[in-house]
Amino acid sequence: MEKPVVAITIGQAHYRRMMSPAAWEKLASFAQVIHHPKPEPATKADLLALLPPADACITSWDVAPLDAEVLAAAPRLRAMAHMGGSVKRFVSDAVWQRGIHVTSAAPALARDVAETTLGLMIVGAKRIWPLAQHVRQGGWRDSPHWPSRELHSCTVGLVGAGQVGRQVLELLRPFRSRVLLYDPFVEAQEAARLGAALVSLDDLLRQTDIISLHAPAKPDTYHLLDARRLALIRDGAVLINTARGSLIDESALIQELSRGRFFAFLDVTDPEPPAADSPLRRLPNVVVTPHLAGCIEDCTHMGEMAVEELRRFFAGEPPIYAITPEMFTRIS
């Protein structure tokens, strides 16, 4: 039987980062592979040239969208496996109209983000950053900063129980922390099964020592933490954002941080990066990192998941994580 044709659109400069030898070997076992010949991700013109013989494609960051014109030039295309956190920029209405099977390796990326988040929770609870600065300046245990705590003694609040939020909940289980959850798409019974108590967002902000954001960027989550809600955060709390910068009203956040009431770890900002003169670059109670919570150098686990998704598709097996049009109302 003739093997299906799979087009790799990510650009060959990204092969080592995204595709392991095991992924290439598995892909070759069930598919004929065609390659975008350039180093960088495929543009629309590249897709128009590459996809006509393809039955499926593997996409990732910076690849051009599969719009109506691209799909018209790819009459055989039946499946798309995306390596990245969100497919929204890559999937057009034409994809759904054609009934193309769409999968995402977001669960693999989510684990990386969740592990980074857990690390920031521990570092935040222990006050590693301010205490290290105090020691650098000649101090020791005479620090005026908030007391160092263990994670098990903290109440943790998660905003969002999507792919990342659920991974964080799993990672938190051994620490025996009290966990509160806000997610309008989750019922109380499901939250309890995940190991959290479902509460309103305002109550979560009032009651938690560590607040971690895992909500998608959508019109109804824009500035979810506005000035009023930021004012509800406890003195001495830790705010972590590894999701999207637009979830926080940044000018209001800067005002709160300027009061020194709580500490923030921001892996994402709005705009990104922050302006050169932004107070976020100077305030002592905030750490801004360059959007690195997910994988950076080694993302091969996403490539392996994308290949497995296509193997399952062509074998008629259930997907690991399929994306449907109905999901677009609640994912990034």
The string of DSSP letters for 285-309 reads TEEE--S-SS-SS--HHHHHHHHHH
Which SS3 state, helix, strand or coil, does residue 324 take? coil
| Boundaries of every domain in the chain | 5-104+297-329, 109-288
Q: Angle 140-142-148 (CA atoms, 0-180°, nearest 5)? A: 85
Q: Is 272 a catalytic residue?
A: yes
Q: How confident is the model at residue 177 (pLDDT cuts 50, 70, 90)?
A: very high
| Comparison of pLDDT for 332 and 309, the residue scoring more | 309
Q: Is 291 a catalytic residue?
A: yes
Task: Give dist(CA 215, CA 164) in Å, integer.
Answer: 9
Instruction: Give residue-wise pLDDT tens across range 288-300.
Output: 999 999 998 899 9
Instruction: Give residue-wise pLDDT tens across range 6-25.
Output: 999 999 999 999 999 999 99
Domain 109-288 has CATH 3.40.50.720: yes
Strand partners, 181: 158, 198
Q: Is 101 a catalytic residue?
A: no
pLDDT for position 330: 76
Q: Return the residue matching tokens 């637009």.
A: 246
Cβ 188 vs Cβ 198: under 8 Å: yes
Residue 118: pLDDT over 80: yes
Instruction: Give residue-wise pLDDT tens across range 159-176.
Output: 999 999 999 999 999 999
Instruction: Give residue-wise pLDDT tens across range 37-84.
Output: 999 999 999 999 999 999 999 999 999 999 999 999 999 999 999 998
What is the identity of the amino acid at 304? E
Cα-Cα end-to-end distance for the chain: 39
Mean pLDDT of the chain: 95
Residue 146: pLDDT over 70: no
pLDDT for position 88: 87
Task: Give dist(CA 236, CA 245) in Å, integer.
Answer: 22
- Among the listed residues 89, 234, 291, 330, the single catalytic one is 291
Instruction: Give residue-wise pLDDT tens across range 205-251.
Output: 999 999 999 999 999 999 999 999 999 999 999 999 999 999 999 99
Which SS3 state, helix, strand or coil, does residue 157 take? strand
Query: What is the CATH class of 5-104+297-329?
Result: alpha beta
Rounded mean pLDDT, 265-273: 97
Task: Give dist(CA 165, CA 111) in Å, integer.
Answer: 10
Which SS3 state, helix, strand or coil, does residue 37 take? coil
- Among the listed residues 244, 301, 304, 308, the single catalytic one is 244
What is the identity of the amino acid at 105? A
